[in-house]
């Protein structure tokens, strides 16, 4: 199988499997137990916390392990809001559903939600941010990198504006970790979310950065695990695997991102030369190296994806969380694409195993499929 859907999830890497398996055998104790079996699990957990903190330039006391990116986004935003008397939030219109749908729920509950707009390249226009801020603004949330277009947002600048106005800044860095440098201090964030399965780690593990001094209320009721912010017995093997995956991703980042940038430009260059009337979605430069999103007008992703799949190629239309729905992606619409065009958007997200040969095969299947569908539709 040629797997070009790494923004949806990644295969767990062998070095990580080894760490998880060892932990499942040796560190299965409950880290909250005070006997030696619990204590050894706790020691490993805290070593992992120390390491993860270093990778994101935080203090260990600022790292909280969770179950995924979605939980972390909910915990950060609801947690911050439950501790602030103001009722308005500012987000971007291209956030992941774990923030966008949450914002709709918050609106139903009486919060005010303002959305920063994307330009036609998928870059959120933060020049309007200050005009959105009022004395009622409780928090600002902007993703680090978009999951559909891969566009990297101006989070550093957003952090500066948030700091200047004394408003907590939440950043969803789920797609950014291990692909670009994520330094929580540099972006002046109050909270940042991470997820393991996007970087060849196990599923069901995430992390929250919570700046020391920022108070959030837990959103689950239970024990005092994860420093009273997130109860529930920690998934020690999963966390150790996540931290190993982060270590490897960061170690290999520079070289791998360069390789992926070249590969993705090669891919796009051939697609634009060989398939007529296509449209690139997202900025060509300010992006994650491994993400290319393209509209193939006159077709739909709903038809192309199964054709690719039948030929052993996995890609996706829109984000995985909304696949199965035929409504156009909110991210692609935000670039100014029309509804029918948006329905033809396909995301190709490359990874560690992607080689040039895979892309050559993908291009020939894609070209044939697009031309055939267009002929049938004309």
Catalytic residues, by residue number, are: 321
3-state percent helix, strand, coil for the chain, nearest multiple of 5: 45, 15, 40
Least Å distance between CB 197 and ligand PLP? 6
Tell me 287's DSSP state: B
- What is the rounded distance in angstroms from the CA atom of residue 148 to the CA atom of residue 332? 8
Given the complex with ligand PLP, which of 201 and 237 has the nearer CB atom? 201
Among 44, 62, 88, 172, binds ligand PLP (CB under 6 A): 172
Q: Please list every residue from 55 through 94 that binds ligand PLP, using CB under 6 A.
A: 68-70, 73
Given the complex with ligand PLP, which of 207 and 271 has the nearer CB atom? 207
Name the residue with the smallest CB distance to ligand PLP.
Answer: 69
Q: Which stretch binds ligand PLP (CB under 6 A): 32-40, 81-89, 168-176, 288-296?
A: 168-176
Q: Please list every residue from 196 through 225 that binds ligand PLP, using CB under 6 A.
A: 197, 206
Least Å distance between CB 73 and ligand PLP? 6
- What is the rounded distance in angstroms from the CA atom of residue 20 to the CA atom of residue 14? 10
Given the complex with ligand PLP, which of 13 and 96 has the nearer CB atom? 96
Given the complex with ligand PLP, which of 69 and 298 has the nearer CB atom? 69
Does position 141 interact with ligand PLP (CB under 6 A)? The reply is: no
Q: Which stretch binds ligand PLP (CB under 6 A): 172-180, 224-232, 274-282, 294-302?
A: 172-180
- What is the rounded distance in angstroms from the CA atom of residue 112 to the CA atom of residue 24? 45
Among 147, 235, 349, 362, binds ligand PLP (CB under 6 A): 147
Least Å distance between CB 235 and ligand PLP? 13
Tokens of 126: 């933060």
CA distances from 55 to 108, 145, 194, 200, 265 (A): 38, 18, 12, 16, 29
Q: What are phi and psi of 234, to 5 degrees?
A: -65, 145
Given the complex with ligand PLP, which of 152 and 278 has the nearer CB atom? 152
Does position 103 interact with ligand PLP (CB under 6 A)? The reply is: no
Tell me 118's DSSP state: B
Of 310, 317, 314, 312, the closest CA to residue 296 belongs to 317
Q: The dihedral of CA 32, 36, 41, 46: what is its sign?
A: positive
Does position 282 interact with ligand PLP (CB under 6 A)? The reply is: no
Least Å distance between CB 313 and ligand PLP? 20
Does position 124 interact with ligand PLP (CB under 6 A)? The reply is: no
Among 53, 100, 126, 143, binds ligand PLP (CB under 6 A): 143
Contacts by 351-358 with C-beta closer than 8 Å and gap 24+? 351/3, 351/6, 351/10, 351/260, 351/290, 352/10, 352/13, 352/200, 352/256, 353/3, 353/11, 354/2, 354/3, 354/4, 354/260, 354/263, 354/290, 356/263, 356/266, 358/2, 358/4
Least Å distance between CB 205 and ligand PLP? 8
Q: What are phi and psi of 79, to 5 degrees?
A: -65, -45
- Total residues contacting ligand PLP by CB under 6 A comes to 14
Does position 153 interact with ligand PLP (CB under 6 A)? The reply is: no
Positions touching ligand PLP (CB under 6 A) are 68-70, 73, 96, 98, 143, 147, 172, 174-175, 195, 197, 206
């Amino acid at each position: 199988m040629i797997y070009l859907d790494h923004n949806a999830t990644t295969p767990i890497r062998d070095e990580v499997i080894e760490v998880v398996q060892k932990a499942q055998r040796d560190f299965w104790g409950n880290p909250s137990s005070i006997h030696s079996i619990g204590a050894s699990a706790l020691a490993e957990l805290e070593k992992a916390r120390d390491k993860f903190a270093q990778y994101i330039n935080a203090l260990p006391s600022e790292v909280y392990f969770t179950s995924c990116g979605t939980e972390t986004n909910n915990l950060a935003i609801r947690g911050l809001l439950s501790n602030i008397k103001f009722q308005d939030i500012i987000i971007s219109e291209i956030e992941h559903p774990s923030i966008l749908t949450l914002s709709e729920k918050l609106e139903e509950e009486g919060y005010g939600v303002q959305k920063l707009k994307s330009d036609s390249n998928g870059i959120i226009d933060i020049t309007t941010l200050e005009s959105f801020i009022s004395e009622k603004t409780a928090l600002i949330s902007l993703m680090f990198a978009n999951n559909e277009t891969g566009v990297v947002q101006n989070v550093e600048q957003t952090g500066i504006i948030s700091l200047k106005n004394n408003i907590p800044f939440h950043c969803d860095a789920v797609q950014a970790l291990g692909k670009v440098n994520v330094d929580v201090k540099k972006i002046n964030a109050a909270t940042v979310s991470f997820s393991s399965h996007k970087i060849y780690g196990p599923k069901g593990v995430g992390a929250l950065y919570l700046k020391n001094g920022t108070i959030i209320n837990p959103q689950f009721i239970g024990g005092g695990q994860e420093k009273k912010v997130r109860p529930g017995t920690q998934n020690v093997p999963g966390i150790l695997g996540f931290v190993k995956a982060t270590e490897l991703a960061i170690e290999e980042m520079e070289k791998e991102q360069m390789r992926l940038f070249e590969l993705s430009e090669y891919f796009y260059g051939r697609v634009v030369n060989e398939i007529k009337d296509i449209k690139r979605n997202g900025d060509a430069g300010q992006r994650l190296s491994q993400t290319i999103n393209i509209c193939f007008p006159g077709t739909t992703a709903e038809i192309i994806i199964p054709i690719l799949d039948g030929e052993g190629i996995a890609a996706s239309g829109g984000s995985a969380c909304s696949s199965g729905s035929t409504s156009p992606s909110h991210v692609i619409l935000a670039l100014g694409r029309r509804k029918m065009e948006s329905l033809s958007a396909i995301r190709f997200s490359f990874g560690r195993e992607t080689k040039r040969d895979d892309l050559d095969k993908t291009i020939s299947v894609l070209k044939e499929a697009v031309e055939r569908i267009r002929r049938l539709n004309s």
